[in-house]
Amino acid sequence: MSISKITPILVVESVEANLPFWSEQMGYEIVHTVPHNKDIGFAILKKGESEIMIQSSASASEDLRIPEAHRPGTVVLYADVDSVDKALKSNRDGEVLIAKRKTDYGATEAWIKTPSGTILGLAEFAKK
């Protein structure tokens, strides 16, 4: 199993309230947003090779259903892997929180809690 990228997901009360800091002050470009109810539930921002994701607590609560993953101020990690199956097989000490699932955005994902307590999403995207 190989990891090609790890991206932090910043869990916040309001995505909209946090976008000006990251885009105007830190210089990140907003490349994608996902609605949640009447608000933005999720955003991907990039600056050069750097990428961050911002997700509202309400959106994370519905999507992940992992209590530790949707408190504002929490940082969750999202890892692009070559194979979720291989990643899960090599996982000996992490607690599987969400078993393998397909997403609307084309990923096969699983979510684990590492021995340190960090929530880690494992994502495999179809080869192009």
| Residues 25-34: contacts with CB under 8 Å, at least 24 apart | 28/52, 34/59
| 17: containing domain | 3-125
Longest dimension (CA), the chain: 42
Per-residue pLDDT tens over the stretch 39-70: 999 999 999 999 999 999 999 999 888 888 88
Burial class (CB in 10 A: 0-12, 13-18, 19+), 124: buried
pTM reported for the whole predicted model: 0.91
CATH number at residue 82: 3.10.180.10
Per-residue pLDDT tens over the stretch 4-43: 999 999 999 999 999 999 999 999 999 999 999 999 999 9
DSSP-based three-state secondary structure for 73: coil
Q: How many domains does the chain have?
A: 1
